[in-house]
Amino acid sequence: MAKDRVFRRTKTPKFMFEYPIGSKKQSVTSPGQIMRMNIPKRVDFAANVITKPEKRELRDFGPIYYAEILRQVGSDVRVVGNKEIVLKCGTNAYRTDIKWVYQDYYQVSSVVVSSYKNDQCVYLVVHPSSLANHENFERIVESLTFE
């Protein structure tokens, strides 16, 4: 449920995150994607819940698992950062920064925040356009909290 700039998932694992004014719902485009929104011409972002990848440590989720997803739709995928963070609710997570090229033209700097809960992987990803102020949109994925 997305309302008043907050998305809340009521199924397990329950979580929430904040999104900016002006965000518009979009159709989901991939398995596991439960919500997708955009701010026209500035940023796309999505929430995903999938079965925890077998034998995949959380620290490897973004740089290995998610980077491979990007390679299926883009090129020149480079992980430029991967660090452990603690969400406001106290849950351990990882933030992965990835630079890549979409459709052989668009330079994209994606930020993924991922966490494992109840044998599920919850990950939020934001894809700001080159015109966007990245710091403002990183807050979307960094606002993830579990209930």
The pTM of the full predicted model, rounded to 2 decimals, is 0.91
Q: What is the pLDDT of residues 59-99, one digit of tens each?
A: 999 999 999 999 999 999 999 999 999 999 999 999 999 99
Give pLDDT tens digits for 25-71.
999 988 899 999 988 767 889 999 999 988 889 999 999 999 999 99
Round the CA-based radius of gyration of the chain to a whole number and report it.
14
E strands within the chain? Answer: 2-3, 6-9, 15-18, 24-26, 33-39, 43-51, 74-86, 92-102, 106-117, 120-128, 145-146
What are the residue ranges of helices labelled H in 3-142?
Answer: 58-60, 67-71, 134-142
What pLDDT, on a 0 to 100 scale, did the predictor assign at position 114? 97
